[in-house]
Structure 1
């Protein structure tokens, strides 16, 4: 998988829409670590079943020896999703669109990756998990 810095312009694949990159990590580059509200992880698990920009190949995590990373996703949390071959795309309240590899879920759970707060808010909003309370994202 190609590395892109967080919030850089999306250019992985042709898209008619301007988007920003989130979570395109590589072992050759540092990344932001921190604690993210569990609603963000719940939101990404719901959204990962959409299979945006599905590819035929599979990207494996460069940070650990896991062969294949799966997650139970979808609204009911009962759909087994193989991570590493698709994207999660979300739109923020201000219209900004973000594109993240679905492996971002593994990066957050296993390697303490902390995505940008605006992306986290957009994911929670897109999944319908938004509440009036604060969303905790601590780098």
Structure 2
């Protein structure tokens, strides 16, 4: 997968709106790590069942031997969602649009990736969850 620095302008694919990148990780680039609030993980799982920018190919995790991670996602957390071939797009309260590979869920839960707080709040908002309180703790 192509690496993009967090909060850099999105350019992976054409889009009608300007977006910012989040979670486009690669082995040869460092990334912020820490503990991410479980509400954020739940929000991303809910949102993962709605495939944005679905691709034909599959990207495997560059950090581990996991063949093709999946999560139970969607509003009922009962939909098998395969990670590595779609994006999660969310809009912040200020109108900023963020695009993350859906593999971001695996990066957070298995590799302690800590996305920017504004993205985390946007994911909570998009999933209809409470956005109050601290969301991330960077190591």
Contact in 2 for aligned 1:88/1:100 (Cα 8 Å): yes
TM-score (norm 2): 0.98
Write out per-residue CA displacement over residues 52-77 of structure 1, whole angstroms, 9 at most, x where no aligned residue. 00000000000000001000000000
The residue number in structure 2 matching 1:119 is 119
CA distance in 2, matches of 1:105, 1:90: 14
Contact in 2 for aligned 1:121/1:135 (Cα 8 Å): no
Q: RMSD between aligned alpha carbons?
A: 0.7
Q: Equivalent residues in 2 for 1:56-75 (5 A)?
A: 56-75=56-75
Gaps of 5+ in 2: none
Poorly superposed stretches of 4+, deviation over 4 Å: none
CA distance in 1, matches of 2:130, 2:103: 23
Gaps of 5+ in 1: none
How many residue pairs match? The answer is: 138
CA distance in 1, matches of 2:2, 2:128: 30
TM-score (norm 1): 0.98
